[in-house]
Amino acid sequence: MVRILVAGGAGFIGAALCEKLLRFGHTVLCVDSLQTGSAQTVARLRAFSGFSFIHQDIAQQLDAGQLGLVEEIYNLACPASPRQYQQDPVKTIETNVIGTRNLLELARLTGARFLQASTSEVYGSPKQKPQREDYWGNVNTTGPRACYDEGKRCAEALVQAYHTQHRAVSSL
């Protein structure tokens, strides 16, 4: 089976993904700062033999040697609740941008495939519903949600730039 790193794996969606991957027989390495993720969730996932946890902020440099072989990387790391991300908007941007870059660099160095989780928030307050993939959105770059919305938009641009510049990084 595949060895998969899930950044943000102690969060609501990340934990569900970790559990599903583990039930499929994959080995899962969860990297989470526990800023908004749950230590109780990590404890529950430890019941699976293929699960391991590293308590780390992805905005800090990742140690490829410590992580070992990683074949796929799923980035779900970032506070998603407005109350949570507005408490520390700078950290929210750093997690989205610097954290994504750190994970992309790990993917580039190891040849791992990469998946960036996004959000409809990248469209801001859309003037069309539903939004098509080629819709650019209607965003407020200075509003109270901008730290999350713009961080996610920048992360998406970074993923595309890595894919263009370093063909070794591929999105799933």
Q: Is residue 116 part of a domain?
A: yes
Antiparallel, parallel or unpaired: β 3-7 and 51-55: unpaired
Please report the pLDDT score of residue 172 as a whole number.
47
Backbone angles phi, psi at 55, to 5 degrees: -85, 100
Q: Domain of 160?
A: 3-165
Nearest by Cα to 159 from 146, 170, 150: 170
For the residues of 68-102, what is the DSSP string, one character each? ---SEEEE--S--SHHHHHHSHHHHHHIIIIIHHH
**Burial (0-12, 13-18, 19+ Cβ within 10 Å), 126:** middle
Q: Is residue 172 part of a domain?
A: no
Q: Is residue 46 part of a domain?
A: yes
The whole-angstrom separation of Cα 73 and Cα 169 is: 10
Model confidence pLDDT, tens digit, residues 38-59: 899 999 999 999 999 999 999 9
Q: Structure tokens of 55?
A: 């308590």
Model confidence pLDDT, tens digit, residues 85-99: 889 999 999 999 999
Strands in 51-55's sheet, in edge-to-edge order, are 51-55, 27-32, 3-7, 72-75, 113-116
Q: For 140, how many CA atoms within 13 A lie in the half-sphere containing its CB?
A: 7
Q: Is residue 171 part of a domain?
A: no
Where are the extended beta strands (E) located within the chain?
Answer: 3-7, 27-32, 51-55, 72-75, 113-116
| Catalytic machinery residues | 148
Number of domains in the chain: 1
Q: Is residue 83 part of a domain?
A: yes
Model confidence pLDDT, tens digit, residues 8-35: 999 999 999 999 999 999 999 999 999 8
Please report the pLDDT score of residue 161 as a whole number.
94
Please report the pLDDT score of residue 81 as a whole number.
83
Backbone angles phi, psi at 112, to 5 degrees: -70, 145
Q: Is residue 28 part of a domain?
A: yes
Please report the pLDDT score of residue 170 as a whole number.
66
Q: Is residue 149 part of a domain?
A: yes
Please report the pLDDT score of residue 118 as a whole number.
84
pTM of the model: 0.91
Q: Which CATH number belongs to the domain containing residue 103 in this structure?
A: 3.40.50.720
Model confidence pLDDT, tens digit, residues 98-155: 999 999 999 999 999 999 998 777 777 778 788 788 888 778 888 888 888 899 999 9
Q: Is residue 170 part of a domain?
A: no
pLDDT band at 168 (very low <50, low <70, confident <90, very high): low
